[in-house]
Structure formats: C-alpha cells, structure tokens
Structure 1
Amino acid sequence: MTALSVLRNVGVLLLMAAWVVAAHVGSTGWGNADVNAVVAVLPIAVAVLMALWRWPQWAVRAGGVMALGALVAWLWPQLRHNVPLLYYLQHLGIHVALGVLFGKSLLGPGDALITRMARRIFAHELSERKVRYTRNVTLAWTLFFFINALVSTGLFIWAPAAVWSVHANVLTGPLIAVMFVVEHAWRLCVLPPHERPGLADIVRAYRRESAARNAGSSRS
C-alpha cells in the first residue's frame, strides 16, 4: 500500500467521521439551521445531479439542474426547519433501497445477489453449499436493512431526536461492521477453507477476471 493510498483512505475516514458529526449535530438541532440544512440536502442534491448526468441530452441536464435549484429555493424555509426529517428520509431511503435490492434477488428462480457476485468474481463453479450460503447471506442482509429501517422509523416517531440520531447517524456504520463480523464468523462455521477465500483472494480473483475481460475485448 502506497503512501498516497494511505492518505486517501485516511481522508475518506475523516470525511465519514465529519459527516457523522454534522448529521448528529443537525438532527439534534444544534448549530446554524441554514448550515445544517445545506449539509442535509447535499447528498440528495448530489444523487439527483448524478442521475441527471446520465442523460445524454444537455437540455435535459440543464433543465433538471435549474428545476432542482428552483425546488430547493422554494422549499428552503421548510427544509431549514425540518433538518431531522431530511436525515431520516435519507436513512430510510437508503435502507429500503438496499433491502429491496437484496430482497428482490431472492424472488424467482435466479441467483441471489451475493451468489451472482460470487459467480462474477470466481471462475470455478460454486458448490451447492456455497450457493446456499450466499443465498442465506443475501437474506440476512435483506432482513438487516428492513429491520434497521423499521427501528429507525419507530425511534424517529416516538423517541427524542437525540436518541434517533445516535441510532441512525452514529450507530449505523458500527452495526454494518458487526454484520460483516458476524457474516465472517458464520462463513468460518459453514464453509470449508477452500470455499471461504480471504479479502486478498477476492481481490486477486477480481483482477484476474478483469484482465480476462479486457483481453477478450482487445481481441474482439
């Protein structure tokens, strides 16, 4: 790992920590209302702008940007007084979207999401045991996202803002980390060593797959 990559990773971690602090401050009503609203609206605006950027027509992009700016300006008096609601909608929307993404892949005869990811990374055929494991992991993440969204909603409605903010803004990251730790422990229990590759193995396999795809594209 180079010094530049270390600095980049540290910068990302610091940015995430700053975001957690800003989200908690804004959700609990501390600080300047306009600054809190700007920080809360920024991720939504960036997501909309990224979606607009996918459109090939410049007129659509420009019109979308102007419409977004006009909408934010029109709603600003309400936005600055409802900062916790903005953070709640972000938290809820992300969790529901991820829950649907994972859960939808469990419906029908096709592979579950994590099973598809495993097939794309590794060239060898997956055993029935590993297919079952990856499907169960997909189900576990589906339940995690929906349950966390439900808990967030309950706390937002009935608990003080500070309590909801601790759960949504401060503890969501650690809860996801706990899920990864539990999933890793589960993997050690249910899969034999040759079917539970480490992170380095996954990265190497992904690089081999990428190199093979690039070579195929060059030949064609």
Structure 2
Amino acid sequence: MTGLWRTLRLVLLALLGGGYLVMDYLASSSTQPPAYAVLIGAAPLTAGAIAACWNSTFRLPATLLCLGGLLAMVLNLDRLLAHAAWLYFFQHAGIMSGLGIMFGSTLGSHEGALCSRIARVAIAEPLDARYLHYTWKVTLAWTVYFAASALLSLLLFAFAPLASWALFASLLTPLSLGLMFGGEYLIRLRALPGQPHFSIAQTIRSYRQYTQCRDTTE
C-alpha cells in the first residue's frame, strides 16, 4: 500500500508540474495572456517572496510591504496582464542570476564551495581533498550554467520572438536543470569510483538541511 501511495503521489506531482509548465508557457509567450495563467505561473515566486519576508529579521514590516505589493498588483491586474512577459522575464533572469551569484560567491576555496558544503551534509564521513576538488568543480559548473542561462534569457528576450524566449524559460530550463543533475551524478560515479555517493533526492534534502543549519547559526 505504501508503494502504491508513493507511485500515485509521484504521478500527481508530475501532473501538477506539467500543468504548471504549460500555464507558465501560455502566460509568458502571449502579449495578452489569460489571467488564470499569469496567477498560476506567478504563484511559486509569490509564495517564495512571502516566505522570505516572514523568515527575515524584520518580519512584520517586510511581510506588510510584500502584501502591499501584491495588493497593488491585484488592483492593477489589467496593466500586469499587458506586461506579463516582462514579469516572467525578470523572474527567470533574476532567479538564474541570483543562483549564479550564490554559487559563484563560494568558489574561494575547495572546502567552502557550496557543493562541498552540501556534500559534507549528505555524507557523514570526512571528505578527502580529491572529493572536495571535484565538488568545487561542480560548484563552478553550476555557476557557469546559471550565468549562461541568465545571459541567454536576456538575449532571447531582447532579440528573439517572444515565443522562443518563453520556450527556453518555461520548458527548456527545467529540462536542462534535470540534465545537469542527472549528468553530474553519472559523472561523479565515474570520476570518484569507490567513494560514497548520494542521489539527486539526497542532494536536495542535504541542501535544505544546510540552509536550515546556516540560518540557525546566523
């Protein structure tokens, strides 16, 4: 019964994810998208912004400011729909740029690289210099990937048809993210034989644990 429930949950998550990507594409590829597509497409970023404000040091003023911004957007929904592509562009390019900065800012040492920190959370035993050198290179690869994605998003939005940019931002970006995760895992198995390894799901859980531990120590 547990296996059946797990399968059903994965199918449901896949359907929800696919539906979100379709809504995201519809909203970002049209100059006059339907309101429901824009609202659904903007939901993850909105939820993330509210969560960030709630967890910030200045919780009350930050949350009130965020809610005020949301109210202003609702009251000017017609203008928002007329410029929905810009909203999605800033969302996509901003996320890619922010992640690139987050990864790139940790490249000062092999031990301090973000992927090295995540690996130390995922693997209980100490990591040797070879492993840390590899995780530093993985951090560099993710930095280059996010920087290239942000630049390509800018170039496509500025010079290509809107549908081409929407295809890249809404569909090709999630696909390339999956390929990056899967490709890195396969390369790691080959580059570090006999070393402890962890799955993609463990990587995500370890990153969450790392951010939680970092937040509690700050």
Specify if TM > 0.5.
yes
Gaps of 5+ in 2: 210-218
Q: Among the aligned pairs, what percent are the same residue?
A: 28
Q: Deviations over 1:151-183 (max 9, x none)?
A: 111111100011111111011111112212321
- Name the CA distance, whole Å, in 1 between partners of 2:59 and 2:160: 46
Give runs of aligned pairs for residues 154-169 of structure 1, distance below 5 A: 154-169=155-170
1:4, distance to aligned residue in structure 2 (A): 2.5
Give distance in 1, aligned partners of 2:184 and 2:50.
35
**Pairing of 1:193-208 with structure 2 (within 5 A):** 193=194, 195-199=195-199
**Cα distance between partner residues in 1 of 2:139 and 2:89:** 25
- Following the alignment from structure 1 to structure 2, what is the Cα–Cα distance between the partners of residues 54 and 90? 21
What letter matches 1:51 in structure 2?
A
How many angstroms does 1:30 deviate by? 7.7
Question: How do 1:119-134 residues align onto structure 2 when only pairs under 5 Å count?
Answer: 119-134=120-135
- Matched residue type, 1:73: V
Q: Which runs of 4+ in 1 moved over 4 A?
A: 55-59, 200-203
1:103 is matched with 104
Aligned partner of 1:138 in structure 2 is 139
Shift of residue 100, structure 1, vs aligned partner: 1.3
Look up the match of 2:44.
Answer: 43
Q: Matches of 1:46 and 1:79 in 2, distance apart?
A: 18
Query: For the residues of structure 2 that align with 1:183 and 1:60, how far apart are their CA atoms?
Result: 41
Q: Could you tell me how far apart the structure 1 residues matched to 2:190 and 2:58 are?
A: 52
Structure 2 distance, partners of 1:57, 1:137, is 35
The one-letter amino acid of 2:175's match is P
SS of 1:188's equivalent? helix
Q: Quick one: which amino acid aligns to residue 127 of structure 1?
A: D
Structure 1: give runs of 5+ residues left out of the alignment.
210-220
Tell me whether 21-30 or 161-170 shows the greater mean CA deviation: 21-30
Counterpart position of 1:217: none
Number of the residue aligned with 1:84: 85
C-alpha displacement of 1:56: 8.2
Matched with 2:19 is 18
Asked whether the 8 Å contact 1:33–1:81 carries over to 2, the reply is no
Deviations 1:104-153 (A, max 9, x none): 11136851011111112222221111010000001001100110111111
The alpha carbon displacement at 1:72 in A equals 1.2
Q: Which amino acid aligns with 2:88?
A: Y
* Secondary structure of the corresponding residue to residue 107 of structure 1: coil
Q: Which secondary structure does the structure 2 equivalent of 1:106 belong to?
A: coil
CA 1:186 to 1:58, structure 2 compared with 1: closer, same or farther past 3 Å? closer
Distance across 1 between alignment mates of 2:30 and 2:12: 27
Scaled by the length of structure 2, the TM-score of the pair is 0.80
CA spacing shift, 1:46–1:186, aligned 2, 3 Å? same
Number of matched pairs: 204
Q: Which residue of 2 aligns with 1:172?
A: 173
Number of the residue aligned with 1:189? 190
Residue 184 and residue 74 in structure 1: after superposition, are their counterparts in 2 closer, same or farther (change >3 A)?
A: same
Q: Which residue of 1 aligns with 2:29?
A: 28
Q: Cα deviations across residues 26-70 of structure 1 (Å, max 9, x unaligned)? A: 122187532233234333322222223336888547733651343
Query: In the alignment, does 2:139 pair up with 1:152?
Result: no
- How do 1:44-83 residues align onto structure 2 when only pairs under 5 Å count? 44-54=45-55, 60=61, 63-64=64-65, 66-83=67-84
- Code of the residue aligned with 2:114 in structure 1: it is L
